[in-house]
Structure 1
Amino acid sequence: YDPQLSLHQQISHQAQLTPDAIAIEMPGGRTLSYAQLDAGANRIAAYLQHHYTLGADTMVGVSTLRHAEMVMVILAILKTGAAYLPLDPSYPSARLAQIIDDARPLVTITDTPAALDGLAIETLSLATLCQGDPAHSYQPVAHQGDNLAYAIYTSGSTGKPKGVAIRHRNVNALLSWADTVYSREDYARVLCSTSINFDLSAFELFFTLTRGGTCVLVDNALSLLDYPLPVTLINTVPSAIKALLEQGGIPAGVRVVNLAGEPLGRDVVNQLLAGQHCERVYNLYGPSEDTTYSTCACFTQEIDHVPSIGRAISNTQALILNDQLALLPYGATGELYLGGDGLALGYLNQPALTAERFIDNPFYDAKVAGSSKRLYRTGDLVRYQADGNLAFVGRADDQIKIRGFRVELGEISEQLSRQAAIDSAVVVAKNGANGVYLVAYVQPAEMLDEESHADFISQALNTLASRLPDYMVPKLGRVMSQWPLTASGKIDKKALPEVEAGTQQGVYVAPQNDTERAVCAIWAELLNIDAAKISAT
């Protein structure tokens, strides 16, 4: 593939090849052809060129509702040589303020001005922009693949979001891989349901429009419940596809389901395939810093194990290293480092953080094809399985110490998820009066009555105790019918409910003698709970 091609050049080329083909379709029957999309983007680009001084890496904000003009604006910004900054109007004002303060867009195009009230930002009405400027025409600009295409802001450990700077060439690497995986029939009608603030949107928009497919543009994946539009490829998070499965919302004709952004349970895979909702399910893993997807696992039949995250996609290098940046053998758990053509430029306006997370590759060899000069430290723990696929273990920053032992919370979650009755699990560490303790949150593979929750947790933890040492086994747990999610669709651990000791007890059995009462008092003091809540069972 040509890394120097710009995304907008490829879409314009597609408009020349198939001008009357439908580029965008929306609920209600509105459509936009490739010729209409390209012409509209040219009008907007001409207006921007005449009224603003735009150049390579200039940031222009996009804060609009999800309609055809949103895509038109993104394409127009790219045509001017600038980069677009997603500012989803549904995001909290405080979050938008942080992004704007860091990225400092020259101007922000909006049809929801109320969402930007009080923010230090120059805005431009989408309605004014779409009228164009008849006195001026679009002037194509020289462009290189190294030019910035967009910046995606992700959560930062300091509480301040960080902007991942993605170049055109990075997206080209992703599209090149996609060409080897998806057929024209697969991307004929792609559900474009992801907020442009989330990097899954780059796959949905740019792969579809540069290859001649139709973007079926909706507010979110659950819109299919209200508008059962025909689609051939769904690209979303596991929690959304699970909701669609439960409510019969997956349209007939879906060939492929891409799932990313959060851990995938085997029951979701099996329900999709057993119910003939699609032909293939892909479990896709990747940080924004490596342009959306880095590894891929494909499933075409039901499975009896936790889905792996597969193998590195083309144009990507994956290494598992220890704390001293030494390679680890098969089966050993270590941090995943990614390299290749998808690696982002770095973080906007944060050179120190960029230097910390994007490092020189100690194993770089110019003579070896695909060897990457740089590596990105993902902070994710993985290991190679016997079949050569990668198993996701958890976050490196989820390492804690209990009773002097180093514990990987992700490993405990993974072991719980392997149980047939459990679809997915999360284990978190809490600080109590007597130190750190573990709490397990599990989502059953099948719906349970609330009365059976305690027994279900007890059985799950007892099974876990047969596989892990005692210090790694949570003593508290809770059944979750649904996971609380962040704006990007990932499990929001901060929103998980508190679990009090005693809430999962079955039949209470009081201590029967002085020895049992003494033991009960000791545990009450150690666990900082009421002795009356400690059962002899």
Structure 2
Amino acid sequence: MTDVTHTETVTETDTDTETGAGPAAAEIPPHGSLLHLLFDEQAARSPHQIAVRDARGSLTYAQLAQRSDWLAAHLAERLPRPGELVGLHLDRGTDVVVAMLAVLKSGHTYVPLDPGYPAERLLFTAGDARLGLIVSDQPVPADLARLPLLRLDDLVQPAAPVPAPRPAVDDGAPAYVIYTSGSTGRPKGVQVPHRNVAALVRACARRYELRKDDVWTLFHSYSFDFSVWEIWGALLSGGTLVVVPHRTAASPQATLDLLSNEGVTVFNVVPSVFRHLVRAARRTGTTPTALRYVIFGGESVDIRDVRAWRAVARRDTRFVNTYGITEATVFVTYRLFTDQELDRAPDAPEGSAFALDIGEPLDGWELRVVGEDGAPVRPGETGEILVAGSGVALGYLHRPELTAQRFPLLAHPGGAPRRHYRSGDLARLLPDGTFCYAGRADDQVKINGFRIELGEVEARLRSAPGVRELVAVRTVSRIGEPMLTAFYTTPDTAPPADGGHGDREQAERLTAHARQVLPAHMVPGRFVRLGELPVNPSGKTDRKALSAWPGQAAPPPPADSPAAGPAPVRTPEGL
């Protein structure tokens, strides 16, 4: 779509011009759940407001509506029968949002194919999804080229508006299919309907004070479900979405500069990425002055990073912890950190437990934690998280057996049986009724006859003095016996001089701490200090590489070590 010139357009005023009141609250239509129709209502309400912008320019809500209408007409010609799956193979930019809207307006479902992902992963996704068409702005991998292809950079948009098709679409139809990896090792396509996303935005709007003048970022890959909230949260609330280039997202300092220059007010981020931003902010003093919300997802929060940020940046920024899963439409719970909690001394009672508190379910979402017998856990016990309600996805694409297994119809207290999602995540119930995240059920290992939940070990040890990050994995000792090893980093990011073994005194202190907070069989037999934890291509800690570490040599270099190239900001593919 090279003929369309991006233009900078002045946004509407951020105040109520009739009353002289403060910034206008976001207006999300209370009825209807088709995402493209909800967007069109916002476009009609605020046609001149900037909807989305990238490094090249911007589109108002009216311009975005017109471009997506025109592309939707093209898609309807190529795929006249609604319900097809359309792959989006596009560089980060405004056209990603245009194409998503167009796919939905033509009655189809979009499937992200981020060009930054490995070609093998893209080929698997395209084949497994049985795509009817791929929309791209660049050459595609050879095997993808065998599928029907629509190149945006070959199209010329006419000057006059083109009416969008209006196929009959039910809000229970999937809006998108996002592929996520799991314990099986085979990616699974999660089908999420329109109504789930609309329910997510409405539920979050009741928790957050969203405004029409809010500026959001599309910081993550659109193949990662965090982006669903970033895109539709911004557009359905009438805000402005800033698409962050990949190179910018990979640089902590460049990200801080963008947050400042763009006046970003709502920022969604993975805690390990936020840690890099904190380090850059403390080093250079660059802090965004407009930021109202930092919303965490995907990993456990290290509250020390939040406190360090507040020490150098504005203190009225609100920090929110979430627990979420792709199969439950991004977020399940909400947990706002209070000033009292953030100002608490690091060594105060429950000083770290509240950072693991997964919070309370969003309106319409239901969360239960049950033991192996299916009964609710009692205080002190750990169980599996089950999710029911508005966010539960339709299931896995073309995987009926796995869908039946992971999305069972279960008895529900006080009512008829309901469909649940068995998350495989664990939570521990504290005596005060708080649920704290306790890791993955498939991270459970067996050593010396004891079943050990790695998430619980990690949660207890991350609060140890002098520890920044910590991961516990099952390794093999020098004599071939299974053992538990904790790999950790410290606030001093310089790589250890001894190749990763850490000094003996520090290991002894950590062992003593572990014995105070863990049963004897859960105390790691070895503590290994690293400059950085290694990450896999998805941006998550590479547990496989760590578990293969033999003890005689250091594990593979982390992704941001000199041997691996420039330091990237890690953006995982799924919550």
Compute the TM-score of the two structures, normalised by the length of structure 1.
0.87
The 8 Å contact of residues 462 and 468 in structure 2, kept in 1 or not, is answered as yes
Give, as a single letter, the amino acid of the residue that structure 2 aligns with 1:245: V
Alignment equivalent of 2:198, drawn from 151, 160, 172: 172
Q: Matched residue of 2:44: which SS?
A: helix
Query: Do structure 1's residue 355 and structure 2's residue 420 form an aligned pair?
Result: no
CA drift at 1:499: 4.7
The whole-number CA distance in structure 1 between the counterparts of 2:159 and 2:374 is 56
Tell me the number of residue pairs that the alignment of Structure 1 and Structure 2 aligns: 498
**Is the 8 Å Cα contact of residues 311 and 388 (structure 1) preserved in structure 2?**
no
Map 1:380-529; keep pairs closer than 5 Å: 380-432=425-477, 433-447=479-493, 450-451=496-497, 453-454=502-503, 455-496=505-546, 499-501=549-551
User: How far does residue 229 in structure 1 lie from its aligned partner after superposition?
Assistant: 2.7
Which residue in the other structure is 1:266 paired with?
303
Which whole-Å CA distance do the structure 1 matches of 2:262 and 2:473 have between them? 39
Q: Is it true that 1:102 corresponds to 2:128 in the alignment?
A: yes
- State the AA in 2 paired with 1:456: Q
Range with greater deviation from structure 2 (343-352 or 382-391): 382-391
After TM superposition, give the deviation of residue 495 of structure 1 in Å.
3.7
Q: Partners in 2 of 1:448 and 1:127 — Cα distance?
A: 46
Report the counterpart of residue 17 of structure 1 in structure 2.
Answer: 45
1:67 positional shift: 0.8
Q: Which residue of 2 aligns with 1:237?
A: 270
Asked whether the equivalents of residues 263 and 424 of structure 1 are also in contact (C-alpha less than 8 Å), the reply is no
Q: 1:24–1:214: 8 Å Cα contact kept in structure 2?
A: yes
Specify the alignment match of 2:185 in structure 1. Answer: 159
User: Normalising by the residue count of structure 2, what TM-score does the alignment of the two structures yield?
Assistant: 0.81
The correspondence of residues 218-257 of structure 1 with structure 2, limited to 5 A, is: 218-220=244-246, 221=249, 222=251, 223-225=254-256, 227=258, 228-248=261-281, 250-257=287-294
In the alignment, does 2:365 pair up with 1:316? yes
Structure 1, gaps ≥5 residues long: 505-537
Quote the Cα distance in structure 2 between the aligned partners of 1:170 and 1:184.
Answer: 19
Counterpart mapping for 1:282-361 below 5 A: 282-301=320-339, 302=342, 303=344, 304-306=351-353, 307=355, 308-361=357-410
Q: 1:319 to 1:240 in 2, by over 3 A?
A: same
How much does 1:44 deviate? 0.2
d(CA) in 2 for partners of 1:342, 1:135: 36
**SS of residue in 1 equivalent to 2:375:** coil
CA–CA distance in 1 between the matches of 2:446 and 2:298? 27
What value does the CA root-mean-square deviation take over the aligned residues?
A: 2.5
Flag the 1:318–1:186 CA change in 2: closer, same or farther, 3 A.
Answer: farther
Change (3 A) 1:78 1:130: farther
Q: CA deviation at 1:224?
A: 1.7
Q: What is the Cα deviation at residue 38 of structure 1?
A: 0.3
CA distance in 2, matches of 1:361, 1:397: 22
74-83 or 435-444, which deviates more: 435-444
Contact (CA 8 Å) 2:55, 2:245: kept in 1 or not? no
The structural deviation recorded for 1:262 is 1.7
CA distance in 1, matches of 2:540, 2:374: 29
Q: How far off its partner does 1:476 sit?
A: 1.7
SS in 1 for 2:192: strand
Which of structures 1 and 2 has the bigger CA Rg?
1
Distance 1:494 1:481 in 2: 18
Corresponding position of 2:569: none
* Identity fraction in percent: 33
Does the Cα contact within 8 Å between 2:123 and 2:144 map onto a contact in 1? Answer: no
Cα distance 1:395–1:351, how it changes in 2: closer, same or farther (>3 A)? same
Q: Which residues in structure 2 correspond to 1:53-202 (within 5 Å)?
A: 53-56=80-83, 58-115=84-141, 120-129=146-155, 131=157, 137-185=163-211, 188-202=214-228
The answer to which of 381-390 and 127-136 deviates more is 127-136
With a CA cutoff of 8 Å and minimum separation of 6, indicate the structure with the bigger relative contact order: 2
Report the Cα distance in structure 1 between the residues aligned to 2:187 and 2:158, rounded to whole angstroms.
34
Per-residue CA deviation, residues 356-385 of structure 1 (Å, 9 max, x unaligned), is 101112225438xxxx71111111110123
Does the 8 Å contact 1:4/1:144 carry over to 2? no
Query: Distance between the aligned counterparts of 1:101 and 1:3, measured in 2?
Result: 36
Report the CA distance between 1:4 and its aligned residue: 4.5
**Which amino acid is the alignment partner of residue 282 of structure 1?**
V
Match for residue 6 of structure 1? 34
3-state SS in 1 of match to 2:41: helix
> 2:476 touches 2:550 (CA, 8 Å); kept in 1?
no
2:557 — aligned with what?
none
- Taking the aligned partners of 2:375 and 2:413, their CA distance within structure 1 comes to 13
